[in-house]
Structure 1
């Protein structure tokens, strides 16, 4: 039995803990705050393929997307009807262009995605209005993505943690990682605010805080926070039936620009509220909720759904995405420090990619079969993990 410490009790850490504990290993999860209160609690729960172009991230998203129905069924069977539903919904996505200049690029992008295995259906005006009767009539192109899904992110994260506990995992909150413990240049444990914790393997899954924690351990990685904000309406009868966003959203997700970017992303929840995003900016861990950003988000949402102009907003919230410059998650063994593994850098895709990340990590840890080629996601050879960025920290 291997002693494994997972740093981070968000959804990626929960998925890793569940997968590793089900394999028979002893797993401890550490978090300096309560479980599921960071990035996992500040997002929309999207399981998307529509926002990714051909390449390694899309391959990962397609594999993850195909596996989610089975994961949801496993959790329901294991935890029983008394456990809250994870609200998995195969709702599909509708992406629209609202300018003449944006129409053909959206259609061309869908063609590239179809060649890579995505079900991307260019739909007529009539078909788009059948999918979304309240959609603005002033759109110039629309693409339907039936594979897009949604979950309630905190509910599914708590379900993964509950499953991990059933398989022997221990969750310790209020524990801050202060540094690494090394023996002969190998990481063998962690120094924490509650004492030293030994480990055969350490998995860093601290989301946007992974950069900070990796510095403390002595093997820094370039994960940075990327702030976003969301508006939430009051409850109402369902008038939006899919995840609907404008074509600018894809460009925003793939941009490396640190400045503010906004695009329109609108979807209903099972509770009857409407979530309205999104924004992206790199401002460190500044938690400020900016009215000017919310105003721009709201303006673009009304462009897609004019009826929203008369719907009350009951709250707004913000959060931090774990951002990496090459837009690929970091999954696998650190080449500089044996004993350290990474599972971070998913930016806005961490909910959907959480379980398949855990499967890739387990394959890297124990040499089993991987669900797809792990090479693009491994730290080795990535500029984000420079060989000379090893700090002589920790204890002997």
Structure 2
């Protein structure tokens, strides 16, 4: 559809977060005439409210792990391409703060250690690198970590970026390839002809195109419903504490073994697990929590207290460290815990790229590369079937929404099963990585 051998296709990407920016970049570089629209500002929603984790450590063998591995492999070469693409490229990439610092998963109980061992065995069978550390190795890797642990695994491939800066770099490269950005542009409805989506009615007027990509994050359900093709993508709330800048204290992304279970749970109630990591600015980010509360953005003291207590269990010295702020936000959740990537079979011309919950930063590049292949009809870098749009969980036919915050596909509530996902509200750019 796009490219030099055929007429240039016009593409509209809805949502200027990191997934939308990555999709816009791929399509623009493929020769599409791309317009990227957002009702707010670029990278101002979920992307600006997270931690920026690029993780393999929290993903079970299966399609999402394969998408994560593809994305992890793409980050270094994509950043190198951006660095060399424009005079500003090198500065943009420096701001991304790419850190392949690795992660540690810690079990503090015998039951947790046994579960972690089983989980790691499955990951190794899927070619994920994970290495057990003995007490001496653990103390060398994280001197301030509690000694009351039963097992520690090191995941050397885990990495981190500054998410808003990463989205900005992708967006700048998309614009260098010809993409246009329109902010303050909210989707209101659809214009169709013969069962095909031909234009969007927006607050900025009519936007005509040949294809449309719904990359609206937690708001993808609402956008899809307005277009007449609802999908069950809902918001799931997460909160993070930010400490004052500290001397070097935490050297990897460190989380307890309960984290994977909490991320993968469907429980609508509060769940917390310890996730601790540092930022380039020296502050520590403490998470994580997950709640299905719709778009209720109020901070809850009891949630923050639970986060602090579990972080202190991993790093006892944190009990004396001041917290200077807290933030929280929303992640796009799908009930079967898999992203939605591909064409909508109900409405020709509509494509989806979302539902990553808290893993959107890490999965963005692989998602965009897969979507590009599907749109262009070129060989896909991995099997797209598990991410198809017509799954029962996506179409809202797998069961009713359980959080009472709205009908399936209309922006109710939830989050995702594999990653300290992310959102934020008041952290500075240097502290916004991708919220637990």
The TM tier, using the shorter chain, reads over 0.9
Aligned to 1:224: 234
Q: Is contact 2:23–2:371 with CA below 8 Å preserved after alignment?
A: yes
Q: Is contact 1:111–1:120 with CA below 8 Å preserved after alignment?
A: no
Instruction: Give the Cα separation in 2 of the matches to 1:381 and 1:261.
Output: 27
Aligned to 1:370: 380
Matches within 5 A, 1:244-393: 244-385=254-395
Instruction: Give the Cα separation in 2 of the matches to 1:21 and 1:358.
Output: 11
Report SS of the residue matched to 2:200: strand
Give per-residue Cα distances to partners, 1:186-213, cap 9 Å, x unaligned: 1011001111110100000000000011
Matches within 5 A, 1:1-396: 1-78=8-85, 79-83=88-92, 84-385=94-395
Instruction: Give the Cα separation in 2 of the matches to 1:105 and 1:381.
Output: 30
Give per-residue Cα distances to partners, 1:111-169, cap 9 Å, x unaligned: 11101111011111111111101100111111110010000000000001111111111
Instruction: Give the Cα separation in 2 of the matches to 1:373 and 1:55.
Output: 11
Give 1:369 shift.
Answer: 1.9
Report SS of the residue matched to 2:118: helix
Report SS of the residue matched to 2:51: coil
Give per-residue Cα distances to partners, 1:48-71, cap 9 Å, x unaligned: 000011111111111211221111
Give 1:382 shift.
Answer: 4.0
What root-mean-square deviation, in Å, do the aligned CA atoms of Structure 1 and Structure 2 show?
Answer: 1.6
| Aligned residue-pair number | 391
Instruction: Give the Cα separation in 2 of the matches to 1:203 and 1:152.
Output: 25
Instruction: Give the Cα separation in 1 of the matches to 2:58 and 2:335.
Output: 17
Structure 2 CA distance for partners of 1:243 and 1:21, relative to 1, 3 Å: same
Aligned to 2:3: none
Instruction: Give the Cα separation in 1 of the matches to 2:177 and 2:51.
Output: 28
Unaligned runs of 5+ in 2: 1-7, 398-406, 410-436
Give 1:384 shift.
Answer: 1.4
Instruction: Give the Cα separation in 2 of the matches to 1:343 and 1:43.
Output: 19
Give 1:381 shift.
Answer: 3.7
What is the TM-score with the length of structure 1 in the denominator? 0.96
Give per-residue Cα distances to partners, 1:273-328, cap 9 Å, x unaligned: 11111100110000001111011000000000011111111111111000001111
Instruction: Give the Cα separation in 2 of the matches to 1:386 and 1:101.
Output: 35
Q: Is contact 1:48–1:352 with CA below 8 Å preserved after alignment?
A: yes
Give 1:81 shift.
Answer: 3.2
* Worse overlay, 237-246 or 121-130: 121-130
Q: Is contact 1:107–1:122 with CA below 8 Å preserved after alignment?
A: no
Instruction: Give the Cα separation in 2 of the matches to 1:218 and 1:23.
Output: 28
Report SS of the residue matched to 1:322: strand
Instruction: Give the Cα separation in 2 of the matches to 1:354 and 1:218.
Output: 26
Aligned to 1:394: none
Give per-residue Cα distances to partners, 1:361-393, cap 9 Å, x unaligned: 111111012111111112134431269x9x9xx
Aligned to 2:5: none
Instruction: Give the Cα separation in 1 of the matches to 2:249 and 2:149.
Output: 18
